[in-house]
Amino acid sequence: MTDLARALRDLDEDKVLELVEEELKKEVSPLDIIAECHEGMAAVGDLFAAGKYFISDLMLSAEIMQNVMARLEPLIASLWDEEHMAGTFVIGTVSGDLHDIGKNIVVALLRSNGFKVVDLGVDVPAAKFVEMVRETGAKVLGLSALLSTTYPEMKKVIDALAAAGLREQVKVIIGGAIVNEEIRKMTGADAYAADAMTGVEFARKVYLKNKSGEAKTH
Ligand code: B12
């Protein structure tokens, strides 16, 4: 574990922000800094699961991470200035789930890559996803969930898209702390992502495919 990941795990905000500045000075990429923070947040989650941290600690970790993102987001925005690929991406955290730090990182990266992002926020009911996919004509939908109890919601959204006759129009990628191939299959999603960049690459492929007429997305 790096010093930065450890400082986040220990909820030492001053140290975290100091180390972020140090890394930026050394020209470490903001994406690598986010990856280190991600590791720290996972460690916070483990301590919570082990009964050593409480909900107030989870909240503090979220606050620290949001402050780190406030510093990094403008830098991310400047990373891909030359590369603009139009395309609409609808995203939200599913019903019953309030975690949005990871989703917000995905949103920032998509926007910096030239995608138009419709961010529906957290605790989004299945019907809202369906409505926005229909309204925007988006070809990619991203669903975020971090709780085991909210995975079934992802399936609900995908089933609702099918019932509305929209499943052929839109590719669905799911993301969040512990999604995997098994959960992808269970939900009927087209792909899963353990990090934000995978979501951007997926959207690129979908929109490229639509331009060139190729068939494969995963
Ligand atoms: C911070 C945090 C909170 C904060 C959230 C604040 C916020 N605004 O988001 C608060 C305090 C509110 C919270 C509440 C709860 N939490 Co919480 N939380 C966390 C914690 C520590 C970190 C999550 C985080 O922000 N990680 C950092 C980000 C950057 O990572 P990420 O979310 O995984 O996102 C990345 C990728 O997954 C991916 N990604 C994410 N979404 C998407 C979507 C798409 C489309 C794509 C492409 C990619 C993608 O890209 C991101 C960037 O790389 C996790 C621990 C963990 N292991 O994740 C627990 C954790 C998720 N929480 C947990 C629990 C139990 C809860 C509560 C039920 C606690 C309680 N008793 O009340 C509540 C539930 C509230 C609710 N209804 O949602 C458990 C879930 C266990 C489980 N398997 O179900 C965890 C795993 C902790 C644990 N080990 O026990 N939590």
Tell me what pLDDT residue 111 has: 83
Please indicate whether residue 179, judged by its CB atom, sits closer than 6 Å to ligand 1. no
CB of 61 closer than 6 A to ligand 1?
Answer: yes
Residue nearest to atom 49 of ligand 1 (CA): 175
Note whether 115 and 60 are same-domain residues: no
Residues 34 and 92 in one domain: no
Helices assigned H by DSSP within 12-166: 13-25, 30-49, 55-77, 101-112, 126-136, 151-163
Q: Is residue 83 domain-resident?
A: no
Q: Do 92 and 191 fall within a single domain?
A: yes
CB of 148 shorter than 6 A to ligand 1: yes
User: Which has the closest alpha carbon to 162: 144, 137, 185, 189?
Assistant: 189
Confidence of residue 98 (pLDDT cuts 50, 70, 90): very high
What is the percent of the chain where pLDDT is above 70?
91
Residue 91's DSSP bridge partners are 119, 142
Query: Based on the domain organization, do 125 and 185 belong to the same domain?
Result: yes
The conformational region for residue 173 under phi > 0 = left, psi -120 to 50 = alpha, else beta, is: beta
3-state secondary structure of 45: helix
Distance CA 33, CA 84 (A): 24
Q: Is residue 218 assigned to a domain?
A: no
**Beta strands 140-144; 171-175: pairing state:** parallel
For residue 62, report the distance from its CA to the centre of ligand 1, in Å: 9
Q: Give the separation between CA 131 and CA 90, rounded to whole angstroms.
A: 11
Q: Is residue 104 part of a domain?
A: yes
Q: Is residue 171 part of a domain?
A: yes
Q: Check pLDDT > 50 for residue 175.
A: yes
Same domain, 27 and 101: no
Same domain, 101 and 189: yes
The structure tokens 């986040």 sit at: 8
Between the CA of 178 and the centroid of ligand 1 the distance, in Å, is: 9
| Whole-number pLDDT of residue 135 | 96
Instruction: Supply the CATH number for residue 114's domain.
Output: 3.40.50.280
Does 38 sit in the ligand 1 pocket, CB within 6 Å?
A: yes
Distance of CA 36 to the CA centre of its chain: 16
Instruction: Report yes or no on 29 lying in a domain.
Output: yes
What's the 167 CA to ligand 1 centre distance in angstroms?
27
- Rounded (10°) angle between helices 126-136 and 151-163: 50
Average pLDDT over residues 89-115: 91
Ligand 1 neighbour 62 (Cβ under 6 A): yes
- 145 and 189 assigned to the same domain: yes
- Domain containing 34 — which CATH number? 1.10.1240.10
Range of the domain at 72: 3-77
pLDDT digits 0-9 by tens, 177-193: 879 999 999 999 999 99
Domain termination residue (choose one: 58, 77, 96) = 77
Q: Cβ(140) to ligand 1 under 6 A?
A: no
The CB of 139 under 6 Å from ligand 1? The reply is no
Ligand 1 within 6 A of 49 CB?
yes
| Whether residue 178 sits in one domain with residue 130 | yes
- Of 146-150, 197-201, 206-210, the poorest mean pLDDT is in 206-210
How many Cα atoms sit within 13 Å of 197 on the Cβ side? 8
The alpha carbon of residue 185 and the mean position of all alpha carbons in its chain are separated, in whole angstroms, by 19
Q: Are 11 and 60 contacting, i.e. CB atoms less than 8 angstroms apart?
A: yes
Q: How confident is the model at residue 217 (pLDDT cuts 50, 70, 90)?
A: very low
Domain boundary among the residues 54, 77, 100 is at 77
Using the atom order of ligand 1, give the atom closest to the CA of residue 200: 47
Query: How confident is the prediction for the chain on average, in pLDDT?
Result: 90
Q: Total domain count for the chain?
A: 2
Residue type, 13: E
